[in-house]
């Protein structure tokens, strides 16, 4: 298991005094995703993306990324996934190779245009939502309801499971809960989107997707990209400790996600699809 923290010598100032001491910072490294696709006689190998992430659960991250970008719908569309080997035959920790089934259809040019649209400055919110609607034409329609007092407890449950955050204070987290508040998965990463992709990748590997009866909790704010990933995984309720963006709210409202913000201190705001919140007291 790669180290998630890195020791560093710092000078700490307080009240005009300072001391030399050792501190821990979260590790940040690039991860390249290489994709093999096409029929056996015309096989192609291309570099799909590079993301900055905290090492650990890399294969889950890649599976989740492929799923939330609409490249795969099921894990069995992948025939091979692992870290690449270097010239000495040793695993290269920062490169993962994925092979898709030969019969899996993939238009590389369309895929590149999709990534360009999602990452370019100046692309409007309307275009972003339209792109997501093409990837996921059916809104999240799960009828699950969640007790408000169950939702109050989830950020603290996630926080208690954040081992690396305790040492660095520098990692985001995403957690997957049942509708009754049972913690199923928690992942930390320097990138908010990576933490969520790791959760979704792990869930896909366990045949839990679509996550129609689950809750995702985010340690920070919510943005379009995080709601997009939730929609692709079929998550009906997303609860963020921080604030949502305007596009996150619009996307959640249009595509059927119940979006919560400021979920802390025994309260939260509901920004979309409030019908899933049960205000009665949970007696279980």
Taking a C-beta distance cutoff of 8 angstroms, is the pair 195, 174 a contact? Answer: yes
Helix (H) or strand (E) holding 63: helix 58-68
Please tell me which residue in 121, 124, 136, 223 is annotated as part of the active site.
121
Residue 156: its H or E element: helix 148-161
Residue whose C-alpha is closest to residue 263's, from 117, 154, 160, 100: 154
Contact 27, 54 (CB under 8 A): yes
124 is annotated as an active-site residue: no
d(CA 138, CA 149): 30
Is residue 65 within 8 Å of 196, Cβ to Cβ?
Answer: no
Q: Supply 87's token pair.
A: 């010239």
Instruction: Tell me which residues are annotated as active site.
Output: 121
């Amino acid at each position: 298991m790669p180290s998630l923290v890195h020791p560093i010598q710092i000078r700490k100032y307080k009240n005009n005094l300072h001391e030399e001491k050792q501190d821990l910072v979260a590790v940040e490294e690039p991860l390249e995703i290489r994709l093999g696709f096409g029929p056996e006689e015309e096989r192609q190998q291309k570099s799909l993306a590079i993301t900055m992430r905290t090492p650990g659960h890399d294969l889950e991250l890649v599976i989740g990324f492929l799923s939330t970008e609409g490249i795969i719908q099921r894990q069995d569309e992948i025939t091979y996934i692992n870290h690449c080997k270097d010239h000495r035959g040793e695993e290269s920790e920062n490169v993962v190779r994925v092979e898709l089934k030969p019969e899996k259809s993939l238009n590389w040019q369309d895929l590149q245009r999709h990534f360009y649209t999602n990452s370019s400055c100046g692309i409007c919110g309307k275009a972003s939502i339209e792109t997501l609607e093409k990837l996921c034409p059916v809104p999240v329609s799960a009828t699950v309801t969640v007790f408000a007092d169950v939702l109050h407890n989830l950020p603290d449950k996630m926080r208690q499971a954040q081992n690396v955050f305790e040492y660095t204070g520098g990692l985001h987290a995403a957690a997957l809960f049942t509708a009754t508040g049972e913690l199923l998965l928690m992942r930390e990463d320097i990138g908010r989107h990576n933490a969520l992709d790791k959760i979704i990748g792990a869930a896909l590997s366990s045949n839990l997707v679509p996550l129609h009866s689950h809750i995702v909790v985010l340690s920070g704010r919510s943005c379009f990209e995080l709601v997009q990933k939730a929609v692709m995984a079929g998550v009906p309720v997303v609860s963020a400790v921080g604030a949502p963006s305007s596009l996150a709210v619009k996307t959640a409202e249009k595509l059927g996600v119940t979006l919560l913000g400021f979920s802390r201190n025994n309260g939260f705001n509901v920004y979309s699809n409030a019908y899933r919140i049960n205000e009665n007291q949970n007696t279980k």
